[in-house]
Amino acid sequence: DAKTTQPPSMDCAEGRAANLPCNHSTISGNEYVYWYRQIHSQGPQYIIHGLKNNETNEMASLIITEDRKSSTLILPHATLRDTAVYYCIVRVASNFGNEKLTFGTGTRLTIIP
């Protein structure tokens, strides 16, 4: 699986959009970009995933650049409950037997009141 690079920490004002970048310059054509978050020491929570098109769900939007070498997770109206560590993960889509999630160090997002 491709390696990802994320800033170690970010702050965002409550109510503003939080934009979390992820670099995955060695991503392959069959690899998806996944985002999970971990609030305090709770179990990681799935947020969103995508292959090449931008994706949106009730939690967030995922913007993937055309060359797929980087992506941005957008939390449109951040609340204090969004304070968490956010993990960007790249996973191979077709390699059966390799379904594990490989977590990096993630970005610690702090929402400021």
Tell me which residues touch another protein (CB under 8 A): 32, 38, 41-46, 49, 87, 91-105
Q: Match 């109510």 to its residue by tokens.
A: 15
Residue 84 or 87: which CB sits closer to another protein?
87
Q: Match 């609340």 to its residue by tokens.
A: 79
Residue 12 or 106: which CB sits closer to another protein?
106
- At 97, list the tokens: 């037997």
Cα separation of 47 and 39, whole Å? Answer: 12
- Report, in Å, the least distance between residue 97 CB and another protein: 5
Residue 37 or 75: which CB sits closer to another protein?
37
